[in-house]
Each structure stands twice: as structure tokens, then as C-alpha cells.
Structure 1
Amino acid sequence: MKKSVQNPREVAEIVAIQALSFIAGDPARLGRFLAETGIGPATLRQSATDPKFLASVLDFVMRDDATVKAFAEASELHPTNVAAAHQALCDPAWERDVP
């Protein structure tokens, strides 16, 4: 049985990891992401444990409406849920639950 996650920040990190997987699934998108972040493919997995890196993943996704919509559809989330996850990772004072 899966453990239910109630902490908004934990939920946001899960969404960011899903977004990273989504980015990695498209070579062109992954290339742009790696170029923007300056990290290499070898350090991508290790970087995924850093909350600041996860925030940058959602920054990348949120920058383009088409990317947000494609990720939301692929992950079966509403785009506002992606935005809420982004806000939860970027704003430590934010306390609303991320659905």
C-alpha cells in the first residue's frame, strides 16, 4: 500500500521529479534543460536530490505554456497543480496543500 503524502513540499518534490522524468523523455527538451542549468547528464540523477535543483526543474517547465500543458497532461495533473508545486518549492513560506 502506498503511503499518503500530506506535506505540500514533499508533494511538490514528487511533482518536480515527475517533471524531470518528463523532460528526460524528450531529447530536445533535455538538451535545452541541460544547457540552461549547466549540469551534465552524469550528474543529473545526483542533482535530483537537491530541492533547489527540483525548483529549477519546475522553473524550466513553467516558462513555456506548451510545456506546462504537455507535462500536466502526461502526469495527469491540472496545470494549476504544477504551478502550486512550483510555488511550494520556490517560496518556503507557502503553506497551502498541493493537490
Structure 2
Amino acid sequence: MTPAEETAIAILGWLANEPELLGRFLALTGTDPTSLRNAVNDPGFLAGIVDFLMGHEPTLLAFCEATCTPPEDVVRAHAMLSGPDNPGDF
């Protein structure tokens, strides 16, 4: 597993403890809780997890504070998982 994938999984783990945010993420992605286990094997889904966090700075900072993750690690994971064709909004 790459560091970017590990960051995405850490974000998902954090979201699992934030019911309101997890519900919003699932609604936006059209994923249901029972299909999460299989979805984490999809690189596009992992990119979506990081993109979700990157799309809202207060949520990004809350994740970083709660998990002691430097924001730069999330930015790096976003760049790696989104690829050169989809650099996202940094």
C-alpha cells in the first residue's frame, strides 16, 4: 500500500467516527456502508475520499488535528491519487 493510499484509508477511518461527515460523503459518492469494504480497493474511490476532505478546509484541518497528520501529507496524497489529469483544487 502506498503512503497516499494509507492516507486515504486513514481519512475513511476518521470519517467512520464522524457520522454526519460520513453520511455526507456516502451521499455524494452514492456508496452505501455495506459496499465500503470493496470500494476501498478502487483507486478512484480512494481519490474521492481525499478529494472530499480537500474540498472543505475546516474538515481537512479537523482531520489533520485529530490524527496528527500534516496537511501536506493530505495534499501529497491528493496529488498522487488524482493523477496528472485531475490535479484538483489545492
Bin the TM-score by the shorter chain.
Answer: 0.7 to 0.9
C-alpha offsets along residues 70-96 of structure 1, whole Å, 9 cap, x if unaligned?
111122111121111111111158xxx
Q: How many residues align?
A: 85
Aligned partners of 1:72, 1:52: CA distance in 2, in Å? 22
Which residue matches 1:96? Answer: none
Where do 4+ consecutive residues of structure 1 move more than 6 Å?
none
State the 1:56 CA deviation.
0.2
Q: Does 1:31 align with 2:49?
A: no
Which residue matches 1:97? Answer: none
Compute the TM-score of the two structures, normalised by the length of structure 1: 0.80
Which residue matches 1:77? Answer: 69
Structure 2 segments unaligned to the other structure (5+ residues): 86-90
Structure 1 segments unaligned to the other structure (5+ residues): 1-8, 94-99
Aligned partners of 1:22, 1:58: CA distance in 2, in Å? 12
RMSD: 1.5
Give runs of aligned pairs for residues 55-74 of structure 1, distance below 5 A.
55-74=47-66
Aligned partners of 1:76, 1:49: CA distance in 2, in Å? 25
Aligned partners of 1:92, 1:15: CA distance in 2, in Å? 19
Which residue matches 1:47? Answer: 39
Q: Identity over the aligned pairs, expressed in percent?
A: 44
Q: Given the alignment, which residue of 10, 13, 31 partners 1:21?
A: 13
State the 1:38 CA deviation.
0.2
Compute the TM-score of the two structures, normalised by the length of structure 2: 0.88
